[in-house]
Amino acid sequence: MDWTQTPRRSSAMRREQNLALVSAVISGAVIAAGLLLLLLARVNPETASSIRTMATDVAAPAWGVVRAPIDGMTRLVAGIGDYFGAVSRAQALETQLDLANARLRQSRVQARELVQLKRLMAVREPKRQVIVTTRIAAAASGSVVRTAMLAVGSAAGVSRDMPVIGADGLVGRTQDVGQLSSLVLLITDPLSRVPVIIERTGQAGLAAGSNQPTLVLIDRVGPDLPLRVGDRIVTSGDGGVYPPGVPVGVVIEVRNDGPVIRPAQPPLGAGFVTVETAWLQMPAAAATGPLFDAPVPVEARTRGAPKPRLRSAEPGADPATEPTAAAALIVPVP
Amino acid sequence: MIASPPPPALLMTKAERRRWLLASWRYAVPAMTSIFLLMLMLAPLPLVVPVMPHLGLLAVLAWAMLQPGLMPPWVAFGVGALADLLFGQPLGVNATLFAVAASVMRLLDRRVGRHGHSFDWAVATVVMLGVMACTGPLMALAGRPVPMAPMLWQAPASLMAWPLVVRLAAAIQRRLVASMPGWRHG
């Protein structure tokens, strides 16, 4: 025989090679799964919301427990420091108090006038309502996104898209809310857009974050009014999440491509933050299409038509008021 | 290597089998260390720029270097997915990158071998910078483009943190081996 037999692999070598093959296949599958998840996140950003709240529900209370003794120590040290220089600080505060009292007397008169005028004009305004006051439990400070976690969640009445406000100004808004935790999108995150006005001129715009300590004022509406360094930026109340008049920051650099704002409240330096109800509540997600007398054909529903509202299934629909109710609900088509 | 294959279960006595089962939590120690460092990254420090080193990634790289058998790409995928969930990034960005980084470490280990601490440091730095460079495009793929310039703060911080992380991992590995004489060290 002039052919040589193929050398037989030893069983240990075969095992090694098989294991290497299997591990290579698993690695490839895992990486492909990751890319698929990315595409899924692109199509539907809400995909991972429920798993995310499960993870934050564990992480946020853990950090809440860890930081409690540290906060206690900080308060103790601050308390000791307060004893020194108390007299000079008291004097400075007294002079400030006098000034503030004078201004308060003025503004009381103005406030009364304002109330009278609003009553005359029949202005109706939503009220700000604090849901919970808490500390920031954890924050992603080493990531491409700027988020923070609060150790309060839906159990305390927090829900999505609620403003989070610190003592000196705006901090962010809630993004994903779990049972015991909520993820806050800080105003410095690249995804954050806060509708603001410039207090001096009243011009509206957006304060956009960019993963940097400062914000950028973009999309200013109306004529190009010149800004000044030191102009205060406050929320406008547009968009319905942030209440109007909350300080956002101060213009520190006037640039043509986008004035730079320093946040009034460094988002992670806030001691306590409050979570408030959204300024204007989101409209109910219930179906608000036209009323139908008969069921919509099955074919229409299988092709993506919304679930129809049947006149017979509407609550409180009686024959007498039916025409007016239906007329009010049907959106006029131009 | 810690993760030596166990003896055939049927050949063990009952006591041996019980001891082996009770000792098997050690297989999860690299993953648990990485998750602990990930939680450490969530410290509520008042940092205005992202200077916090990417401890989770560093831990994955260190374990993929010290114990490739205990940090396979699928474990790195899990750690990365948890990082995504905790940081609020789209699910899959860190998961993909950590898995790729672990398999790259494994390949490099096989190709270029180990040449001491400084060489490992350089290899880890290259892989880390590669991961950071790929984060931006993957975030854009997930539909949330972010500016990557601020992450230049994180790169030197992570570079400096590597010796600490790899030392921590080595210390844990030494303890692990000392606590279980039956496990080989390699």
Contact B103 A27 (CB under 8 A): yes
Q: pTM of the predicted model, to two decimals?
A: 0.76
- For residue A105, being part of any structural domain is answered with no
Contact B148 A144 (CB under 8 A): yes
What CATH number did the domain enclosing A237 receive?
Answer: 2.40.10.340
Q: pLDDT higher for A306 or A219?
A: A219
Domain range holding A220? 131-276
Q: pLDDT higher for B165 or A280?
A: B165
- pLDDT tens profile A100-159: 999 999 899 889 888 888 888 877 777 888 889 988 888 887 788 889 999 898 898 898
Chain A, 193-212: which have a CB under 8 Å from a chain B CB? 210-212
- For residue A238, being part of any structural domain is answered with yes
pLDDT at A324: 47
* Interface predicted TM-score (ipTM): 0.80
Closest by CA to A266, choosing from B157, B148, B42, B45, is: B45
On whether both A160 and A272 belong to a single domain, the answer is yes
Q: Pull the structure tokens for residue A6.
A: 């193929």
Contact A34 B77 (CB under 8 A): yes
**B-chain residues near A175 (CB < 8 A):** 88
On whether both A19 and A155 belong to a single domain, the answer is no
pLDDT at A265: 87
Distance (Å, rounded) from C-alpha A137 to C-alpha B44? 6
DSSP string spanning A267-302?
TTT-SEEEEE--SSPPPP-S----EESSPPPHHHHH
- For residue B19, being part of any structural domain is answered with no
With CA atoms as reference, the chain B residue closest to A53 would be B85
On whether both A135 and A271 belong to a single domain, the answer is yes
pLDDT at A74: 81
Closest by CA to B79, choosing from B34, B37, B40, B41, is: B34
**B-chain residues near A45 (CB < 8 A):** 90, 143-144
pLDDT tens, N- to C-terminus, chain B (186 residues):
455 556 676 777 888 888 777 877 888 999 999 999 999 998 888 877 888 899 999 999 999 998 888 899 999 999 999 999 999 889 989 999 999 999 999 888 888 877 788 999 999 999 999 999 999 999 999 888 888 888 888 899 999 999 999 999 999 988 888 877 666 543
- For residue B8, being part of any structural domain is answered with no
Helix (H) or strand (E) holding B94: helix B93-112
Query: By the CB < 8 Å criterion, does A187 face chain B?
Result: no
Contact B92 A34 (CB under 8 A): yes
Q: Pull the structure tokens for residue A110.
A: 């103005």
Question: Is there a contact between A56 and A178 (Cβ–Cβ < 8 Å)?
Answer: yes
- For residue A301, being part of any structural domain is answered with no
**A-chain residues near B39 (CB < 8 A):** 59, 62-63
- For residue B135, being part of any structural domain is answered with yes
Closest by CA to B74, choosing from A27, A302, A220, A55, is: A27
Please state at what angle helix A11-43 crosses helix B117-141, rounded to 10 degrees: 40
Question: Is there a contact between A248 and A261 (Cβ–Cβ < 8 Å)?
Answer: yes
On whether both A135 and A85 belong to a single domain, the answer is no
- pLDDT tens profile A175-185: 989 888 999 99
Asked whether residue A211 carries a pLDDT value surpassing 70, the answer given is yes
State how far residue B171 is from chain A, nearest Cα, in angstroms: 24
Within A187-290, strands assigned E span 193-198, 204-208, 215-218, 232-235, 247-253, 260-263, 272-276
Asked whether residue A332 carries a pLDDT value surpassing 80, the answer given is no
- pLDDT tens profile A292-304: 777 666 676 666 6
Domain range holding B106? 25-176
On whether both A181 and A261 belong to a single domain, the answer is yes
Question: Is there a contact between A239 and A258 (Cβ–Cβ < 8 Å)?
Answer: no
- For residue B61, being part of any structural domain is answered with yes
pLDDT at A333: 47
Distance (Å, rounded) from C-alpha B124 to C-alpha B120? 6
| A260, A276, A292 - which closes a domain | A276
Closest by CA to B59, choosing from B135, B168, B146, B178, is: B168
Cβ neighbours, 10 Å, residue A56: 29
- Percent of all residues in chain A with a pLDDT value above 90, rounded to a whole number: 21
On whether both A248 and A145 belong to a single domain, the answer is yes
Which 3 state secondary structure label does DSSP give B7? coil
Residue from the list B47, B49, B89 with its beta carbon closest to the beta carbon of A145: B89
On whether both A268 and A164 belong to a single domain, the answer is yes
pLDDT band, residue A320 (cuts 50/70/90): very low
Please state at what angle helix B73-87 crosses helix B29-40, rounded to 10 degrees: 20
A235 forms bridges with which residues in the sheet?
A196
- For residue A8, being part of any structural domain is answered with no
pLDDT band, residue A334 (cuts 50/70/90): very low
What CATH number did the domain enclosing B116 receive?
Answer: 1.10.1760
pLDDT at A2: 61
On whether both A211 and A150 belong to a single domain, the answer is yes
On whether both A29 and A137 belong to a single domain, the answer is no
| A40, A65, A91 - which closes a domain | A91
**A-chain residues near B144 (CB < 8 A):** 45, 145, 190-191
Query: By the CB < 8 Å criterion, does A250 face chain B?
Result: no
| A276, A300, A325 - which closes a domain | A276
pLDDT at B138: 92
- Where does residue A103 rank: exposed (0-12), middle (13-18), buried (19+ CB within 10 A)? exposed
Asked whether residue A94 carries a pLDDT value surpassing 50, the answer given is yes
Distance (Å, rounded) from C-alpha A322 to C-alpha A308? 17
Asked whether residue A307 carries a pLDDT value surpassing 80, the answer given is no
Q: Pull the structure tokens for residue A154.
A: 């839906």
pLDDT band, residue A327 (cuts 50/70/90): very low
CA R_g for chain B: 18
On whether both A73 and A156 belong to a single domain, the answer is no
On whether both A141 and A86 belong to a single domain, the answer is no
Distance (Å, rounded) from C-alpha B84 to C-alpha B98? 11
- For residue B5, being part of any structural domain is answered with no
pLDDT at B183: 60
Contact B49 A212 (CB under 8 A): yes
**B-chain residues near A269 (CB < 8 A):** 46
Average pLDDT of the segment spanning A81-104: 87
Question: A190-204, A261-275, A301-315 — which is least confidently predicted?
Answer: A301-315
Contact A59 B86 (CB under 8 A): yes
Number of domains in chain A: 2
Question: Is there a contact between A219 and A206 (Cβ–Cβ < 8 Å)?
Answer: yes
Asked whether residue A322 carries a pLDDT value surpassing 50, the answer given is no
Contacts of A268 (CB under 8 A, 6+ apart): A136, A139, A141, A148, A186, B44, B45, B46, B47, B48
Average pLDDT for chain A: 82
Distance (Å, rounded) from C-alpha A4 to C-alpha B121? 48
* Angle ∠(B117,B43,A251) on CA atoms, nearest 5: 110
Question: Beta strand pairing status for A309-310 and A291-292?
Answer: parallel
Distance (Å, rounded) from C-alpha B34 to C-alpha A38? 22
Question: Beta strand pairing status for A215-218 and A260-263?
Answer: antiparallel
Helix (H) or strand (E) holding A165: strand A163-166
